[in-house]
Chain A
Amino acid sequence: MKVKYFAWVRERVGKAEETIEPPSTVRTVEELIAWLSGRSEAYAYAFEKPKVIRTAIDHAHVKSDAAIAGAREIAFFPPMTGG
C-alpha cells in the first residue's frame, strides 16, 4: 500500500510518500502506527504522540481503530490548520 505523510509528520519521517508492506498481523491504523514507529528513530519521532496523528484511508478521515485491509493509500498528518 502507498503511504503519504504531510506537514511535520512528513518532515520528521523525512519523506512525502513510500510503498510499504506491513505484515498481516498489522490490521488497524493504530497497529500500523506502532509498526511504523519501530522502523527507525525518524518514524518513532514522527509518531511519538500517536493520539495527535490524524489518518485518512483512500482520501477519507478514519479513526485509529479502522481496519487497513484493502486500503490503497493511507495518509498520516497533524491536526489540520487550513482556512
Chain B
Amino acid sequence: MTCPVTIRIQQDDFDIAREIAVLTQSRTDIGAVVSFSGICRGDEDSANISALTLEHYPGMAEEEIRRHADEAVSRWPLNGVTIIHRVGRFLPGHNIVLVLTASQHRQAAFQAAEFLMDYLKTNAPFWKKEESATGTGWVEAHARDDEAAARWTRS
C-alpha cells in the first residue's frame, strides 16, 4: 500500500476540495477521507479576537510534523496524508490548518486525523498571538490539549 505524505507550511490559503482531489486522484483503493480544518475564531474565553498571528520554527516545524505523520502511517492503515499549516496574520474565519487522512475504511482515517491534530497542537513548534480590543498577547497552552495528546501514548 502506498501512502503519500504531503506536508506544507505556507502563508497562502488552501482549498480543501482541491487538496482532497489531489490526494485521491487515480486511486481506487481509498474508501474514506477525513478532513479537519482549524479556523481562526472571533472569540476566546468570551473576549473578542480581532486577529491571530501564527509564528513557527522553520525547519523543525516540518520535521516534527513529518515525525508524527510517519508515526500515524505506522499505526493505522493509511493511503494518504496531507497536512497544511499556515503562518502569518489571520482574521476570524480564516483557515489556519488542514489535516487530511485517507484510508480504505473510516475508522483509521478518523483516528489518524485526531491523533495528528492532538500532536500538532502540543508538539509542533507554532505559536499564536492574539489581537483584541485590550491589546495583544501570546495564547497560553491548555492542559486539555496535553491530555488529548497523552491518550495516544503507547506504554
Distance of A40 from chain B, by nearest CB (Å): 21
Main secondary structure of the interface of B (DSSP, over half): mixed
Q: Which residues of B contact A33 (CB under 8 A)?
A: none
- The residue in chain B whose Cβ has the minimal distance to the Cβ of A77 is B125
- The residue in chain B whose Cβ has the minimal distance to the Cβ of A52 is B141
| B side interface size, CB within 8 A | 27
Q: B38-82 CB contact bits vs A (8 Å, 1 = yes)?
A: 100000000000000011110110011000000000000000000
- Which of B85, B96, B123, B138 is in CB contact (< 8 Å) with A7? B138
Q: Would you call B57 and A82 a contact (CB within 8 A)?
A: no
Q: A66-80 CB contact bits vs B (8 Å, 1 = yes)?
A: 000000000101111
- Which of B63, B123, B141 is in CB contact (< 8 Å) with A59? B63
Distance of A31 from chain B, by nearest CB (Å): 22
Q: B6-40 CB contact bits vs A (8 Å, 1 = yes)?
A: 00000000000000000000000000000000100
Q: A80 to B96, alpha carbons, bound, how many Å?
A: 15
Q: Which residues of A contact B139 (CB under 8 A)?
A: 81
Q: Would you call B60 and A56 a contact (CB within 8 A)?
A: yes
A residues apposed to B, CB below 8 Å: 4, 6-8, 56, 59-61, 75, 77-83
| Given A4-B57, A82-B124, 13 more pairs with CB closer than 8 A | A7-B127, A59-B59, A60-B63, A77-B57, A78-B138, A78-B141, A79-B140, A80-B122, A80-B125, A81-B126, A82-B97, A83-B120, A83-B121
